[in-house]
Amino acid sequence: MTFPGTSGTQTRPAASRIDWVDYAKGICIVMVVMMHSVLGVEAAAGQTGFMHALVAFAKPFRMPDFFLISGLFLSVVMDRDWRTYLDRKVVHFAYFYVLWVTIQFGLKAPGFAAESGWAHVGYLYLESFVEPFGTLWFIYLLPVFFVVTKLTRRIPPIVIFTLAALLESAHVATGWTVIDEFCARFVYFFAGYWLATYVFALSDRARSRPALAMIGLVVWALINGALVELGYSERPLISLALGMAGACAIIVAGTLLAHMRWLDFLRYCGEHSIVIYLAFFLPMAATRTLLLKTGVIPDIGTVSLIVTVAGVAGALLIWRAALAVHANFLFERPAAFWIAPKKPGAVLQAAE
């Protein structure tokens, strides 16, 4: 692992999965699906339910933690040649973005056409390669982060981190997702890359002192919840502090869950987080429409909870069905779309 300000090598095996990382990713992806599910249900119903408070509580740290974890193992591949690096970190995500934005447009095109005509549908599709479409902005932005980090690797990390922190604190709002989300999220991705050693040290300490870790989580939850409730969570510097603190909290929570072997479904979700991210929109939207139109469940909070579960479970079912009918290309990048050779005996690179 590269230490901040120094050079070094990764001391943890890159090929093996680390349990707490999967738990932390699982927590994050469930929170992402929850956010889209709850806000979608509430917007369609015109009212809020009990799930709204949980979504608001998670907002300060939901995406910061996802991006921080995405940068954790970057030092392992940073020294690869540009061709291999671009293949693994750019072409990989570009393949899934193009594929799934096309799938989403195919499903939504009739509705778009009914509103503004088929010509506008074509315009919207082309625009999605400049302005990320819907829920797919995360995998659009990741390659940008990977490239920027490699291009700036000769600059002292403290300089990059400071600039990134200033950009987050500026709360840039241009209306263009790439710029706005880059400014808001890059500091967390870079922190995961640069401070990875300390992240692993935090996990190790939480595992060795679980009681103290639990106390820390309670204190964090009270502070985070209070600042959200008071409306201070999105103020400059406070948002950055809550993002970093929340990311650390999820890492600690993931470590404790892994240590106790509790809620194993979260680990499974973390192992397949990008699979869920790519496919959850379809079961989520279908379940929301069905429940709201039938009115079989009157409570909006309960509807939101069911839609969340359906989004996560439905995405995993779509993945398993795709593998069963040999439609692996939906979640595994075919060899034809590699621009750098694979290692001998390597399997097709999956979405994760």
46: containing domain: 22-338
Q: Tell me if 350 is assigned to some domain.
A: no
Q: Tell me if 94 is assigned to some domain.
A: yes
Q: Tell me if 167 is assigned to some domain.
A: yes
Predicted local distance difference test score (pLDDT) of residue 348: 40
Predicted local distance difference test score (pLDDT) of residue 106: 87
Q: Tell me if 186 is assigned to some domain.
A: yes
Please count the structural domains in the chain.
Answer: 1
Residue 130 and residue 140: Cα distance in Å, rounded? 10
pTM over 0.75: yes
Residue 340 and residue 302: Cα distance in Å, rounded? 48
Predicted local distance difference test score (pLDDT) of residue 344: 53
Q: Could you report the per-residue pLDDT of 148-182, keeping only the tens digit for each?
A: 999 999 999 999 999 999 999 999 999 999 999 99
Residue 164 and residue 187: Cα distance in Å, rounded? 5
Q: Copy the structure tokens of residue 235.
A: 């103020």
Q: Tell me if 332 is assigned to some domain.
A: yes
Q: Tell me if 10 is assigned to some domain.
A: no
Residue 10 and residue 2: Cα distance in Å, rounded? 6
Q: Tell me if 9 is assigned to some domain.
A: no
Q: Tell me if 78 is assigned to some domain.
A: yes
| pLDDT of 121 over the 90 cut | no
Element (H, E) at 146: helix 137-151
